[in-house]
Amino acid sequence: SIIRELGPVLAALMITGRAGSALPAEIGIMRITEQIDALTVMALNPMRYLVAPSILAGLVTFPLLTAIFDVVGIFGGYLVGVKLLGLSPGTYFGEMQTFVDLNDIMTGFWKSLSFGVIVTWVCTYKGFHVGHGAEGVARATTQAVVLSSVLILVWDYFMGSILQ
């Protein structure tokens, strides 16, 4: 179902491609220009100052984008079913209510929350542990996007098995 599987995974992969590349690049540049060391010297905890807001943003944006993706997917199914295949709108929504239950919605929600934590955690970790120079930042950014994408798919498999 789009609500249980496709929505959370595709939304997470889209965010990973965009924010998953920006976050390690931003933190990586801060690391190589010693801005993170400056935060530590000023008695600011870099984890609290940089990582916590990123994880909070992931916890908010991943479920929101998943909900938008689900609504667009349901509307697309409506257009295909009603306009192309000639179903009545009542039949479409009646069958949708039959096949979609609260468990599907909650599974999609929990998946999107966990994807938000996974992606922001991996991306901030890779940003904090960059190599030297611009090449190190580029490498950390690529690793963050690839690792996040793989972890999304692996975690989706396990969540699907657990929440069945």
Mind spelling out the 3-state secondary structure of 1-68? CHHHHHHHHHHHHHHHHHHHHHHHHHHHHHHHCCHHHHHHHCCCCHHHHHHHHHHHHHHHHHHHHHHH
In whole angstroms, give the CA distance from residue 119 to residue 125.
Answer: 10
Residue 131 clears pLDDT 90, i.e. is over it = no
> For 123, phi and psi rounded to 5 degrees?
-70, -40
Residues 113-132: what's their mean pLDDT? 94
Mean pLDDT rounded to a whole number for the chain: 92
Q: What Cα–Cα distance (Å) separates residue 101 from each residue in 71, 85, 105, 128?
A: 15, 24, 7, 41
Per-residue model confidence (pLDDT) at position 163? 75
Q: What angle do CA 70, 75, 81 make, to 5 degrees?
A: 125
Q: What Cα–Cα distance (Å) separates residue 37 from each residue in 46, 47, 80?
A: 9, 12, 55
Residues 68-89: what's their mean pLDDT? 93
> Rounded to two decimals, what is the model's pTM?
0.88
Per-residue model confidence (pLDDT) at position 162? 85
Question: Using one digit for the tens of pLDDT, what is the confidence trace for 139-161?
Answer: 999 999 999 999 999 999 998 88
Residues 108-120: what's their mean pLDDT? 95
> What is the band of 119 on the pLDDT scale with cuts at 50, 70, 90?
very high
Question: In this structure, is the dihedral angle defined by the CA atoms of residues 124, 140, 24 and 34, taken in order, positive or negative?
Answer: positive
Residues 47-66: what's their mean pLDDT? 93
The residue extents of the domains of the chain are 6-163
